[in-house]
Amino acid sequence: TPLSRQEWEHIQQALQDSGGNISAAARLLGMHRRSLQRKLAKRPGRERPLAPDAHG
């Protein structure tokens, strides 16, 4: 099933809180890292987590 807007916002907040670390975000969300990666893969073309300060 597609991610609801609320679920996507919750995931984005966890990614922000974890500095873009998928493993840490998954722990915050109470799910396995692979489960979070699968959810992220369902949102092609959307924001993808970036490493903090990746541009300089």
Which domains, ranges and CATH numbers included, belong to the chain? Answer: 5-41 (1.10.10.60)
CA triplet 33, 38, 41: central angle to 5 degrees? 125
Residue 1 has pLDDT above 80, yes or no: no
pLDDT tens digits for range 21-54: 999 999 999 999 999 999 999 876 555 555 454 4
pTM for this one? 0.71
**What pLDDT score does 44 carry?**
60
Per residue in 30-41, is it b (16+ CB within 10 Å) or e — as a string? eeeeeebeebbe
